[in-house]
Chains A and B, each alone.
Chain A
């Protein structure tokens, strides 16, 4: 039960941080980290996939309502949630029956870093491509994706390493 409460709290906190703080970061005009994806990344590994998808949709839609981008965050978040299980299987070997939450300990440092990097990249590529909806500003799009992903990844790894101490 505490994990459920913990996750609800994390959901609200991440949405607030995203909307009130991170969406206002306009460093160089390119960087806009999307930390809220951390919620999807830290859910227990064996969580039913349908439930994960529904949660991802609600999370994305909440961010959308606040940032006037209806559907975009929902699409990208559901997309990344769908591939989560496959990516976890690819980078780690968790035994059947275990249900750990993804951390440096349970995944191993290299497995966890790979997991975070791939997930964040999938999410950011989907999101920024949707936002542009064309490849007119191709290099700008690439720069935005790479810089923002880098910042998001560093933020997530930073937060998780502080928490694990």
Chain B
């Protein structure tokens, strides 16, 4: 009897070990769902509060680069204003009598600016935490861009913070196309280098050149058409392949990313409902 008890006591550690490992493993497998339960991810307010504090220190050292970016964007915007003013002045006589105020549907985007408070680039599955949340109007599945180009898609939202899946995560594929001939394909990260990703589904009859610009296709509701994604760095095709292997240099430098804009597509609800309705009718 004493031996039996000793035996059980001795192996109770093994049982505990197995129990803890099973808990951990379930957590890993169910990661997807648990991430949505904001409590155990980095959009938890205590954790993100700490990241925000640490980020404010790091940000100080990135101010110069951020300033350069801002002033560049400023000049670009000013140029645009001048161009538009010129165009407007030539159009005025024609539009004065017509009552045509409808905004084209593809223009109905609003931007919410946010700051990156935690990010990684060296894991196989990277995430970015932002300092804006539901209170600022951020919702799940919104697209995120920076001044340079596409960053990713919002995955989890708490009241004051949100977590973004960037391009640097094999869990998302972003629909892109070539700027010059509109052929579209999916952009997937290879998991190796934070500067490059792969473009898939481009058939062999498409003409390519090194350095071709790749932009978003606008086929998904997360991103409007024409936001830069990157340039072709290298492409290969074997005799037997039907599709190109294209290496894309990403427009965004994820290593120095600090300010982003979240895209709020105002017609999202209407578009989704319409699409659902037509699916139901079939």
Contacts and interface: CB of A to CB of B under 8 A. Distances in A.
Interface in A1-40: 20, 23, 26, 29-30, 32
A163 interface: no
B42 A32 contact: no
Interface stretch (A75-83, A91-99, A101-109, A152-160): A75-83
B61 to A, nearest CB: 12
Interface string A40-81: 000000000110011011001000111111111011001100
Given A26-B121, A60-B24, A75-B28, A68 B35 contact: yes
B21 A75 contact: yes
Interface size class of A (residues with CB under 8 A): 20 to 34
Interface string B222-248: 000000000000000000000000000
B192 A78 contact: no
Contacts of B121: 26, 29
Interface in B11-30: 12-13, 16-17, 20-21, 23-29
Contact of A74 (B16, B27, B42, B123): B27
B24 A78 contact: yes
A68 B41 contact: yes
A75 B21 CA distance: 6
B13 A50 contact: yes
A97 B41 CA distance: 43
B62 interface: no
A65 B26 contact: no
Contacts of A54: 16, 20
Given A60-B24, A75-B24, A65 B120 contact: no
B193 interface: yes
Contacts of A56: 20
B124 A132 contact: yes
B25 A71 contact: yes
A70 B40 contact: yes
A66 B25 contact: no
B163 interface: yes
B35 A65 contact: no
Contact of B122 (A29, A71, A137): A29
Interface in B24-51: 24-29, 31, 34-35, 40-42, 44, 47
Secondary structure of the B contact surface, majority rule: helix
A79 B21 contact: yes
A65 B39 CA distance: 9
B265 interface: no
B127 interface: yes
B124 A50 contact: no
Contact of A29 (B16, B44, B192): B192
A66 B42 CA distance: 6
B204 interface: no
A20 B58 CA distance: 10
B117 to A, nearest CB: 12
B74 interface: no
Nearest to B27: A71
A60 to B, nearest CB: 7
A67 B40 CA distance: 10
Contact of A67 (B28, B42, B192): B42
Q: Which 10 A-B pairs have the closest CB atoms?
A: A71-B27, A71-B28, A75-B24, A74-B24, A26-B122, A49-B13, A71-B24, A68-B127, A78-B20, A82-B17
21 contacts: A26-B120, A26-B121, A26-B122, A26-B194, A26-B255, A29-B121, A30-B122, A56-B20, A57-B20, A64-B40, A65-B44, A69-B123, A70-B31, A71-B27, A71-B28, A74-B20, A74-B24, A78-B17, A131-B124, A131-B125, A137-B192
Interface of A: 20, 23, 26, 29-30, 32, 49-50, 53-54, 56-57, 60, 64-72, 74-75, 78-79, 82, 130-132, 137, 140
Given A65-B42, A74-B24, A137-B192, 4 more contacts: A54-B20, A68-B41, A70-B27, A72-B28
